């Protein structure tokens, strides 16, 4: 059985007292065990980061960018192997795993322009003989806690900008699928990153709390469920850290009467059921406007869902594979039952699905609910599985209100041919990321990612310029070179630029 160790100071950590099981979701069997650490292992990692970070910060931005360029080339070289490894632990199909790797790589491409991103500002002659300029400087040592659903993408969303800015970084990936994050850190070392600048520690709540409490860590970035994101934000900021914590979601897709329903159904199939619904930017709620639109959409959705192919993650014809573990499958099935108990109409029931030859795998079929209402628990909470809910809206105003009033505000989409409706919706809806005829509106790497309300805690979004701002501090310098003339009593009053 494989053992997955910490990566501290460029090498594997010592033998661990605790371990966690890493499953093969296709077979339902344990394929590896991962070391679970805590304060002791974190102290070692922080000490190594503290020793390495000043030298990395002193490395000019162009040379730091060259490491990113080299890392990009290595990931591209390893794409197929990384995708297979990711798929084997997470369960998403290999094509989807490649997308996971590629979207993270796009943030690394953005980080390759580090010299431009880290430029400060300069004003010549701000006052008599006075110049003012600013510098973007690293905060020191950062840490990232990342979820199981994107084990390749999200770690690079965090460590890419942090390293580019000159920080050291300690990554705590999900213990459910930790192999790809470790391999990415190894490739960063191969690309020329000094030992100790990027390290990987594994663990559960004990390790997360150790990160939040450690005085040597200046900033923490987190992605996970909203309850834990709120805990991370409160505990981290109470300890004096800079924190960005991204939480859960309940993204809505608004379908206007003029929408191209064939395109909408195709988009919904991928957005709601791709990766078995284990995406914070999945689209699990569809809101048709008007009863006629709802009936037409439902009639087209049912055969499309029936045609979805659930298979092992290596099946090139599968639309999605198993969920990550048995506990998560049971949680999804319980949410389906909760929807039934609340009075929603279960149109397609994905429970009890078994894949021939892989009966012990963590598979679940697609489910569809209709006539879901905002008071139902299954609507209010995130299911994080292959479950699509239809919530019917009477008109445009109700369609805008549904996602705006929801506790989550990560993403939303509107499907329409009407430019005025799209523009009005985008301006008014209380959600952080909006798609217009785009079902999964994840911004490109040079814009930033972040939700509102209980989907995001903190003042900065992730990647893009917000990522650079989060991982840097601004120092502003006001300088004067006296010309030798005598001073006067103005030295005793507050300086002005008059």
Q: DSSP for 249-296?
A: ---EEEE-TTS-HHHHHHHHHHHHHGGGG--TT---EEEEBSHHHHHH
Beta bridge partners of 136: 474
CA dist 159 and 162 (Å) reads 5
Catalytic annotation present for 111: no
Alpha carbon of 172 to those of 42, 178, 211, 488: distances in Å?
A: 10, 9, 9, 58
Both structure tokens of 344: 């929603």
Own/partner contacts of 473-478, CB < 8 Å, gap of 24 or more, are 473/136, 473/137, 473/138, 473/139, 474/120, 474/134, 474/135, 474/136, 474/137, 475/134, 475/135, 475/137, 476/132, 476/133, 476/134, 476/135, 477/132, 477/133, 477/134, 477/135, 478/126, 478/130, 478/131, 478/132
Q: DSSP for 360-394?
A: TS-----EEEES--TTSHHHHS---SSEEEE--BS
Among 164, 7, 151, CA closest to 90 = 151
End-to-end CA separation in angstroms for the chain: 73
The Cα diameter of the chain in Å comes to 92
Query: Which listed residue (8, 229, 280, 440) is catalytic?
Result: 280
For residue 112, the surrounding DSSP H or E stretch is none
Alpha carbon of 141 to those of 266, 401, 426, 459: distances in Å?
A: 44, 42, 37, 19
CA dist 18 and 39 (Å) reads 13
Residues with a known catalytic role = 280
């Amino acid at each position: 059985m494989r053992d997955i160790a910490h990566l501290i100071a460029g090498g594997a950590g010592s033998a661990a007292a605790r371990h966690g099981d890493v499953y093969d979701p296709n077979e339902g069997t344990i394929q590896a065990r991962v070391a679970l650490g805590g304060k002791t292992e974190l102290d070692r990692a922080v000490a190594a980061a503290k020793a390495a970070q000043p030298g990395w910060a002193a490395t000019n931005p162009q040379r730091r960018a060259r490491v990113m360029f080299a890392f990009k080339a290595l990931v591209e070289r390893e794409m197929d192997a990384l995708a297979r490894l990711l798929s084997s632990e997470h369960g998403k199909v290999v094509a989807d795993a490649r997308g996971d790797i590629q979207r993270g790589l796009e943030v690394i491409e953005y980080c390759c322009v580090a010299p431009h991103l880290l430029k400060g500002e300069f004003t010549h002659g701000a006052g008599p003989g006075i110049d003012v300029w600013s510098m973007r400087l690293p905060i020191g040592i950062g840490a990232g806690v990342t979820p199981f659903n994107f084990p390749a993408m999200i770690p690079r969303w965090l460590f890419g900008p942090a390293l580019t800015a000159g920080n050291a970084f300690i990554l705590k990936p999900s213990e459910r699928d930790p192999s790809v994050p470790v391999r990415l850190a190894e490739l960063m070392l191969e690309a020329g990153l000094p030992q100790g600048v990027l390290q990987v520690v594994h663990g559960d709540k004990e390790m997360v709390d150790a990160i939040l409490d450690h005085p040597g860590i200046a900033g923490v970035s987190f992605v996970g469920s909203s309850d834990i994101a709120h805990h991370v934000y409160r505990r981290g900021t109470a300890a004096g850290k800079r924190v960005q914590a991204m939480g859960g979601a309940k993204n809505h897709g608004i379908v206007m009467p003029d929408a191209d329903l064939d395109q909408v159904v195709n988009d919904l199939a991928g957005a709601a059921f791709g990766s078995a619904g284990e995406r914070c930017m999945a689209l699990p709620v569809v809101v048709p406007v008007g009863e006629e639109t709802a009936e037409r959409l439902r009639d087209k959705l049912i055969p499309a869902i029936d045609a979805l192919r659930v298979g092992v993650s290596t099946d090139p014809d599968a639309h999605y594979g198993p969920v990550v573990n048995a506990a998560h499958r049971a949680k999804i099935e319980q949410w389906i039952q909760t929807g039934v108990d609340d009075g929603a109409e279960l149109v397609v029931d994905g429970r009890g699905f078994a894949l021939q030859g892989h009966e012990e795998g963590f598979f679940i079929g697609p489910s569809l609910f209709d006539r879901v209402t905002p008071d139902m628990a299954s609507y209010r909470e995130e299911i994080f599985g292959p479950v699509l809910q239809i919530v019917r809206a009477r008109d445009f105003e109700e369609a805008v209100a549904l996602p705006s009033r929801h506790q989550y505000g990560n993403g939303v989409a509107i499907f329409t041919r009407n430019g005025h409706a799209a523009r009005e919706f985008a301006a008014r809806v209380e959600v952080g990321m909006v798609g217009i005829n785009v079902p999964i509106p994840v911004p490109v790497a040079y814009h930033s990612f972040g939700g509102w309300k209980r989907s995001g805690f903190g003042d900065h979004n992730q990647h893009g310029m917000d990522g650079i701002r989060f991982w840097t501090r601004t120092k502003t310098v006001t300088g004067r070179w006296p010309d030798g003339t005598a001073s006067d009593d103005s030295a005793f009053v507050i300086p002005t630029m008059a």
